[in-house]
Structure 1
Amino acid sequence: MPRSPLPPREGISATALRAPGGKATHAKNHLPVPDSIGDWLETEFPEAAPESRQALLTDGDMCDEAGRPVTWDDPVIPGGFYFFHRPVPAEERIPFDVGIVFEDEDLIVVDKPHFLASTPNGRFVRECVVTRLRVDLDQPDLVAIHRLDRITAGLLVLSKRPETRGRYQRLFQDRRVHKTYRALAPAPPPELEFPIVRESRLVKPVGGRQVLEVAGEPNAVSRIRLVRTIGAQGLSPSGTRVDTDAAGPPRRGGGDHAPSEWAGDEDEGPPRGGIAEYELAPVTGKTHQLRVHMNGLGLPILGDPVYPVDLAPDPYDFTSPLQLLAAEIAFDDPLTGCPRHFSSHLSLDPGAVAAS
């Protein structure tokens, strides 16, 4: 798809619309080419008020690939792209700020707060990291180069320049980026030994919110390490669980496990009913992968509104943030070859879980 000749408006990119016809393989190729732009818009947006379609063309807000404004009676270029700005309704502000971790002439690395979307999507178009920063930093070409779920907090890398964007995007596509997450979840049973490699096949049913682990060839791999256990009250550390054979190879989930050693008070033993902090490293990048894998171990991440039960949460309920943080990102810079390592300034909050 060609780049839009229209600049973002209030941080929001123009919408691209492809006309029927043309030689390239496309789902609309079998449709007849309308006689005019106006006829096409009536077919494409039958639910829109006639005056809305007319205003789009009268005000010159719709253009072709070359940036030329089009009118109601202009002929349609078969298979051509046209660009325009959709009306975007006002949105309730997400009451959390984006923190800048690093910036140079090519990249911006930010700390995304919980509940703020990374990119425009669905009901959140204005209230997302990309739209906010395009406006606040006067960076109209800013684009996120990887995904981070709306309810997950932590590091997000954005590209400032289209000229170098592809090289950074390929790092993520080729899995040459090392990501480390931190999570709070129930303390593990003594028979579960860490570190663990969780491998499974993940499938998201059409129309569903939950991603499922199913039988079949694994397509998702996560490395999971126990960092520390936290007391049963969920607020103060009461000791540290030490991984047995921590220097050895990670063990795969399932099967028989020897108990880990306890480094807290000898008479007290490991806390029952407490929570623990985990370090998670995704080897692959499937949707909800870390959340599904932790849930599959019987250790659902605290504050998760979808696993193990989909609670259909109100997106404006900020009382129980998901205790998952994108804590570190490391890669070799494709432009300079120099290693880059970024750490989040945010932290997880057991108190928020206990209070919710």
Structure 2
Amino acid sequence: MRYGVSASRTWLPKCGSFKNANENHGHWETILDFLLERFPYIPETVFQERLGRGDIVDQTGKPYAVNSLYQPETFLFYYREIPDEPVIPFQETILFRDEHIIVVDKPHFLPVVPSGRFVRESLLSRLKHRFQLEDISPIHRLDRETAGVVIFSCNKADRGAYQSLFQNKQVSKTYEAIAVRSTLEFPFNHRSRISKGEPFFRMQEEDGEANTETIIDMVEVKGDLARYQLNPVTGKQHQLRVHMASIGTPILNDPFYPVLQTDKGEDYSEPLQLLAKTIEFLDPVTKKLRSFESQQTLIF
């Protein structure tokens, strides 16, 4: 583990002989040959630099050199690395920690797990580095754009017990959102069928049996805007964002719904006004009732 980033591994297959090379070297003469074919989008100079630093190792932990021969039917280990990875200028807050779980108040814009152009700058990597504990793993997820309470397991032995809480809908979650004032009668129960949309990271509603449900209430009005309380009965990706857009009240500053906006890069001036405010459950290990609340507030 380096800077909270766990090692990734790749199997080195035996797949024929490399011309003018020993048959035991497989199709590639050197480790560098394999890496260039396996990861064609990464420039050769980047691999040469990583090999020179000793950042790519064999299954015994021995670093490969630029000219190391290919070793079929073994594992190669490396660390995901994003050149010029943006630093997200917001810090998480630890709400609770024991030997079983870590409860975190996540800021807007910070992804829960490494994805896309963020590896070190993910909540998971930050926590692993902070506590120097590789066994940390998220029990559930929040969108990168969403802030609020998220729970991590820090003990492999009882991780499944906490995951079962979410799978069996034994967790009570409350979200807050700021959106345009609606003329609907509240509380309002919105049920619909959600599936993958276009592009791949967006979701869409479609005809068919409902697979999502959200209870929506308008709890405060200020001019043309309102504060909503959202209680998801199900937990589909982007469910709350899709449902709010579907009833004509898209969440303020949503870059995906109802219309996909241009990527603003590292512009943090307009965070999505969606907050995972509270979470409550009966702890399956300690048998205590756990209740946690975000310390953050939305712009209203």
Deviation, 1:35, is 6.6
Matched, 1:73 2:69: yes
Aligned runs of 1:114-125 on 2, under 5 Å?
114-125=108-119
- Give RMSD over aligned pairs: 2.6
Matched, 1:156 2:150: yes
2:128 corresponds to which letter in structure 1? R
Name which one, 1 or 2, has greater alpha-carbon Rg. Answer: 1
Partner of 1:49: 44
Alpha-carbon distance in structure 1 between the residues aligned to 2:53 and 2:143: 39
**In percent, how many aligned pairs have the same letter?**
41
Deviation, 1:56, is 3.4
Secondary structure of 1:115 counterpart: coil
Matched, 1:220 2:170: no
Bigger shift: residues 88-97 or 288-297: 88-97
2:299 corresponds to which letter in structure 1? D
Partner of 2:102: 108
Cα distance, 1:106–1:314 mapped onto 2, change above 3 Å: same
Alpha-carbon distance in structure 2 between the residues aligned to 1:75 and 1:95: 42
Alpha-carbon distance in structure 1 between the residues aligned to 2:83 and 2:190: 42
Alpha-carbon distance in structure 1 between the residues aligned to 2:49 and 2:265: 35
Q: Do 1:60 and 1:69's aligned partners in 2 also have CA atoms closer than 8 Å?
A: no
Stretches of 4+ moved more than 6 A in 1? Answer: none
Deviation, 1:162, is 2.5
**TM-score in terms of structure 1 length:** 0.72
Q: Do 2:14 and 2:27's aligned partners in 1 also have CA atoms closer than 8 Å?
A: no
From 33, 58, 61, give the equivalent of 1:63.
58
From 169, 172, 191, give the equivalent of 2:163.
169
Q: Do 1:36 and 1:75's aligned partners in 2 also have CA atoms closer than 8 Å?
A: no
Secondary structure of 1:180 counterpart: strand
From 198, 207, 214, give the equivalent of 2:199.
207
Alpha-carbon distance in structure 2 between the residues aligned to 1:81 and 1:166: 28
Matched, 1:285 2:238: no
Cα distance, 1:36–1:335 mapped onto 2, change above 3 Å: farther
Alpha-carbon distance in structure 2 between the residues aligned to 1:142 and 1:128: 13
Partner of 2:87: 93
> What CA deviation, in whole Å up to 9, does each residue of 1:146-176 have, x standing for no partner?
1111111100111222233232223223332
1:13 corresponds to which letter in structure 2? S
Partner of 1:249: none
Q: Do 2:34 and 2:70's aligned partners in 1 also have CA atoms closer than 8 Å?
A: no
Provide the aligned length of Structure 1 versus Structure 2.
Answer: 285
Q: Gaps spanning 5+ residues in structure 1: where? A: 1-7, 23-32, 233-273, 351-356
